[in-house]
Amino acid sequence: MWKTLNFVIGALRRIGLPTTIRTLMYSLRRPIYDARFGEAELPDGTWITPGPVESYEVDGPTVTLRCVNASIRVEALSEDMFRVRLRPDGDFPQPFSYAVARDDWEPVQTEVFEDAGDIVLRTGQLACVIGRDSGRVSFKTPDGKVLSSDEAPMSWHEGGDVALHRSLQPGESCHGLGQRAFGLNLRGRCYMLWNCDPANYDRGDDPVYYSIPFYLGVLADGTAYGLFFDNSHRGRADLGAARKNRLTVSFEGGELRYYFIGGGTVEAVLSRYTWLTGRMRMPPLWALGYQQSRWSYVPDSKVREIADEFRRRRIPCDVIYLDIDYMDGFRCFTWDRRKFPDFPGLIRELHDKGFHVVTIIDPGIKVDEGYDVYRSGIERDVFLKYPDGTYFTAPVWPGDCHFPDFTSPAAREWWAGQLDDLIGAGVDGIWNDMCEPVVFALEGDPCPTIPDYVRHYMEGMGGDHAEAHNVYGMLMGRSTLMGLERLRPGKRQLCIVRAAYAGAQRYVSSWTGDNRATWDHLRLSISMVLNLGLSGMAFTGPDVGGFDGVTDGEMFVRWMQLGAFLPFFRAHKISLMPPHEPWSFGQPYEDICRDAIETRYRLLPYIYTLFAEAATDGQPIIRPIFTLDPDPAWREVDDQFMLGADLMIAPAPDAGRRERGVRSPPAIWYGATERTRDDGGK
């Protein structure tokens, strides 16, 4: 039934309808859980393994193993990080990566020796052991403790898939992978590595917007290790679904190349992972404040009214967001001159009142000869094409669009250059939406996007969308940031995306997409932000209040009281739903909202310090309780969390609750608002 409805909606969209009807239909769209997603099987057919090691060569910290069917290269890149590559052809060309931020590895002392039929490459902190007969790889601490080992040899499929099979240890909890609509411990399920706009998702739907091929395992004793797969193809991470004690990560193409980081604290692993893939830049201070958004504040008088209400009611607010209706017919980089007769003037006025302004942009550029952005995109040849050289065209908000190829430096340049008008008008930051990328589809596709075979430039190497898909959002954000930095050199920037890839933290921050106004979504936003933080993406947060659906006063204030402690603190709402500003629900809700927001501002020196830790060392801003105490009892706990190392937050979990139980790891805990003391350990 949903399939049919989606079909009808898609078809109607293509014809073009008034915005109101379109947005109403947007709310009706539902995800369709498709067998392709979730517990997917690896393809049938022949899988090939390297076979026994015939010989090996040692070159400093690098060991190349020549096996019967393939070569494996293991390199110690630092004391605590190794890279493993599998190459059936035996060649090891310099790898290309959008994620990895450096190739200046630290000098590292290694030794190579043989031990009972195994070949061992060891640093002071980590040993990689390769079985001579099997080609299986495992990692151990110097004292022999196994961190992670191949449960079956690495393998590749005749169709181009590659797979790694590892054992999951008893008591190991599973984290990372970017944004997941699941609790904190991801063990026991299979997840898709494929950025996807699911439209209204629920707990348990997968994939959602933002996937990162970084897995963080935390063993029963608290020892952590990281596995980063540098592969942007569509992939699956099976964390004990098909077999309880097996982790299988596979990709539909590309090289099997992974970085193993181990085995210390979660903190040490994240520090190393972000050393490799880059760290967040400090955002502007105002981006740490409270931010107000909705789809959409139009026309200018509405924006003015919202801004004035904040000041009149003395509710702190730093940023106002303009969603798609500010544009001229959804044409990116323009504004509607009827709804905003003096756009720069309005922004000047908002600046004078102490607000910053962030506008949305989408990747789809309207096919319209009268639109100079479109014309210059055609002239500069920046849009994606089919293999036969015709333009890829698909409908999004403005109707039929072409899409820039952000894997081309020339297209990124061009895109960056389009920001002049918006930034010239005073816009302070950019919100990059739809960058999975999503298109409006005709059939009931759960993740309508650009077809796999559409061509990409891939920095001159040539490739297709199957390979470029997962990096598309990150590169859109990177191009936007390039424009922002050029127009405001030396300034900190706010550049937000909805989907990206490993390493995106060095360009952008994110929000968690279209959630819903339910108590479960409120709770889900905690585990999502936690796992994103454990994937290197520290600066993120949900649409406070819930994007879709009707929020009541109680849920709104509870979400405010949670959002005030999350890194990105912004209320946002779908169009056609009732207003959701802090005063929209009357009293006592307005006062409670003010109180929550003021608490945020009182904590800013502390929160700012946490942002600095994220920027200098890759540490998450909110952290699971288990980072304080390895006891396995904490591994699933995601209804309380740490803001930094010192503040524990326990939000209201559901309707009508005025009290809740809080468990605390062994330590002395002081109440933040009441004079209480608790010795923990419960």
Which residues are the active-site residues?
433, 436, 514
3-class SS at 437? Answer: coil
Q: Smaller CB distance to ligand MIG: residue 253 or 398? A: 398
Q: Smaller CB distance to ligand MIG: residue 26 or 37? A: 26
Cross-strand partners of 149: 138
Cross-strand partners of 166: 150, 247
CA distance 213 to 226: 10
Shortest distance (Å) from residue 66 CB to ligand MIG: 50
Shortest distance (Å) from residue 580 CB to ligand MIG: 12
Q: Smaller CB distance to ligand MIG: residue 260 or 511? A: 511
Q: Residues 6 or more apart from 419 whose CB is under 8 A from it? A: 333, 430, 480, 483, 484, 487
Amino acid letter, residue 502: A
Kindly tell me the sign of the dihedral angle through the C-alpha atoms of 17, 19, 25, 26: positive
Two tokens, residue 153: 């040899």
Two tokens, residue 559: 């979400």
CB 528 within 8 A of CB 180: yes
Q: Smaller CB distance to ligand MIG: residue 50 or 437? A: 437
Q: Smaller CB distance to ligand MIG: residue 330 or 634? A: 330
CA distance 23 to 4: 18
Shortest distance (Å) from residue 291 CB to ligand MIG: 13
Shortest distance (Å) from residue 558 CB to ligand MIG: 21
Shortest distance (Å) from residue 433 CB to ligand MIG: 5
Kindly tell me the sign of the dihedral angle through the C-alpha atoms of 176, 180, 184, 186: negative
CB 431 within 8 A of CB 510: no
Helices and strands (H and E) in the chain: how many: 13, 37
Q: Smaller CB distance to ligand MIG: residue 437 or 503? A: 437
Shortest distance (Å) from residue 644 CB to ligand MIG: 28
Shortest distance (Å) from residue 573 CB to ligand MIG: 8
Closest CA to 431 of 525, 266, 572: 572
Q: Smaller CB distance to ligand MIG: residue 29 or 175? A: 29
CA distance 511 to 568: 7
Q: Smaller CB distance to ligand MIG: residue 250 or 525? A: 525
Shortest distance (Å) from residue 4 CB to ligand MIG: 21
Cross-strand partners of 236: 192, 250
Omega cis (within 30) before 50: no
Two tokens, residue 225: 């290790």
Q: What share of the chain is helix, strand, coil (3-state, %, to 5)?
A: 25, 25, 50
Shortest distance (Å) from residue 195 CB to ligand MIG: 13
CB 316 within 8 A of CB 571: no
Q: Smaller CB distance to ligand MIG: residue 522 or 603? A: 522
Q: Smaller CB distance to ligand MIG: residue 514 or 581? A: 514
Q: Kindly list the distances between the CA atom of residue 150 and the CA atoms of 128, 135, 417, in Å, as whole numbers in the listed order.
A: 11, 9, 48
CB 75 within 8 A of CB 111: no
CB 121 within 8 A of CB 139: no
3-class SS at 474? Answer: helix
CA distance 262 to 270: 10
Shortest distance (Å) from residue 427 CB to ligand MIG: 16
* Residue appearing with tokens 């240890």: 169
CA distance 283 to 289: 11
3-class SS at 74? Answer: strand
Helical ranges in 405-493 per DSSP H: 409-417, 420-424, 465-487
CB 110 within 8 A of CB 286: no
Q: Residues 6 or more apart from 39 whose CB is under 8 A from it? A: 189, 190, 241, 242
Shortest distance (Å) from residue 127 CB to ligand MIG: 45
Q: Smaller CB distance to ligand MIG: residue 270 or 450? A: 450
Q: Which residues bind ligand MIG (CB under 6 A)?
A: 26, 295, 323-324, 360, 433-434, 498, 513-514, 572
Which residue of this chain has its Cβ atom nearest to ligand MIG in the complex? 295
